[in-house]
Amino acid sequence: MKFTELNLPPEVLKGIETVGFTDLTQVQEESIPLALAGHDVTGQAQTGTGKTAAFLISLFTRMLRNPRETGSNPRALILAPTRELVAQICEDAKGLGAFVPFKVQPIFGGIDYQKQRDALRGGVDVIVATPGRLIDYAKQKVFSFGRIEFLVIDEADRMFDMGFIRDLRFILRRLPSFDQRQTMLFSATLSHRVRELAYEFMNVAERVEVEPEQMTAERVEQILFHVSRREKFPLLLGLLAKEEDANRVLVFVNTKREAEHLTERLRANDFRAAVISGDIPQLKRMRILNEFKNGLLRFLVATDVASRGIHVDDVTHVINYDLPQDPEDYVHRIGRTARAGAAGKAISLADEELVLHLGDIEEYLGRRIPSAVPGEDDFLWNYKRPHPRKKAPVPEKSVAPGERKRPPRRRRTRPKPSGGDAGSS
């Protein structure tokens, strides 16, 4: 089905044409008509399936068809679990909404507090936010939830995983009642707790499901290598040397420590690589992601927690340097490539320890991942090792010209009492 077959306003169609979309994905084909008809929608959809475009197109269309004068209080609220995902949704909204008269404002921590506050006070149509800072502004009465007409909750399962459920309920209880607003909820898995949330705060939602097998990008070429842990890095270098079209590579590991260590080893071998981890300041994380998107950075190493919200087109390769422990994370990882109809490749390295998770992953996928044993020429053993970090010497305290350096302070000692009784003459 093509977007031109939908009864969309010219401004929205022009935005869709600008970003290059022509055919609807499955989740778009099932959810957009329901949303345009005014129904609440719960959608099971992984990132990379087009769900962001689905709710943005529905949102802009409904707002155009039901105009309201812009005031200090927003009309629409989109909630997401991570700062990166908020930034990505705003980027998509900028393209799809290039010709609609709506102001979209991101709200999240780590960047200018006063600037976001002033933007809210000046009046916005759509807020895209993580819960924490949004609640902070609401408690200060910078804006009100009272006139929200449209609500979107993206990656609801991650909201639970990251401990946002209390914040989410705080917000939902302050919105107009479910029969006075339209709500769309999207989640990679419609678990019991996600369904319970939908039942409590949504108005008889229509359910849209994309099965896990369909959530794996169809055009991802998957291959798995059985290798010992000692051989993983030389195999990685050998494979990268052979993959001539590996122009934008996302490498996944299971821990922050491993991510930092692997990044150092790649840099030592002349690979321009950076790491995304939770303790990197937000502005630096955004700069790293922009460099990766713009092609200035070829390799990005990330953990699953830090990678939430990484939506970069034209990722040519995803490498599971560590097999994930959670099967859903495998689907999430390889969904970073082969986006928007492009081709992509997912390479996984199964060592003697993490291969134990392979069975669960293949059971979740419903099929086996094509595997191979690497040949001797696949390894690159002649690699450089990072220089050991040296502790910087503690600088001696400088002394101004003409100033005498004080001698070390001597400790005073009390003289020992002389012999004899204290009262003797």
CA distance 425 to 421: 9
Give residue limits of the domains in the chain: 3-213, 216-378
Q: Is the dihedral of CA 415, 421, 422, 425 positive or negative?
A: negative
Tokens at 30, concatenated? 């099932």
The packing angle between helices 83-96 and 51-65, to 10°, is 50
- Which two three-digit tokens encode residue 275? 């790491």
In whole angstroms, what is the distance from residue 315 CA to residue 384 CA? 26
Judge residue 57's burial from the number of C-beta atoms within 10 Å of its C-beta, 0-12 exposed, 13-18 middle, 19 or more buried.
Answer: buried
Rg (CA), the chain: 28
- C-alpha 363 chain-centroid distance: 26
CA distance 179 to 204: 10
Tell me the backbone φ, ψ of residue 43, rounded to 5 degrees: -125, 130
- The CATH number of the structural domain formed by 3-213 is 3.40.50.300
Q: What is the DSSP secondary structure assignment for residue 354, as one 8-state letter?
A: G
From CA 185, how far away is CA 112, in angstroms rounded?
Answer: 29
pTM passes above 0.85: no
Q: Please give the DSSP secondary-structure letter assigned to residue 414.
A: P
- The CATH code belonging to domain 216-378 is 3.40.50.300
CA distances from 42 to 133, 161, 344, 414 (A): 25, 18, 29, 81
Q: Write out the DSSP string of 232-279.
A: HHHHHHHHHHH-TT--SEEEE-SSHHHHHHHHHHHHHTT--EEEE-TT
Residue 263 · residue 301 · CB < 8 Å: yes
Q: What tens-digit pLDDT sequence spans the chain (425 residues)?
A: 899 999 999 999 999 999 999 999 999 999 999 999 999 999 988 766 789 999 999 999 999 999 887 667 899 999 999 888 898 899 999 999 999 999 999 999 878 889 999 999 999 999 999 999 999 999 999 999 999 999 999 989 888 877 888 999 999 999 999 999 999 999 877 888 888 989 899 999 999 987 654 455 567 899 999 999 999 999 999 999 888 788 899 999 999 999 999 999 999 999 999 998 767 777 788 889 889 988 899 999 998 866 665 777 788 999 999 999 988 888 888 888 876 566 789 999 999 999 999 999 999 888 899 998 898 889 988 888 887 764 444 444 444 444 445 555 555 555 555 554 444 43
Length of the chain: 425
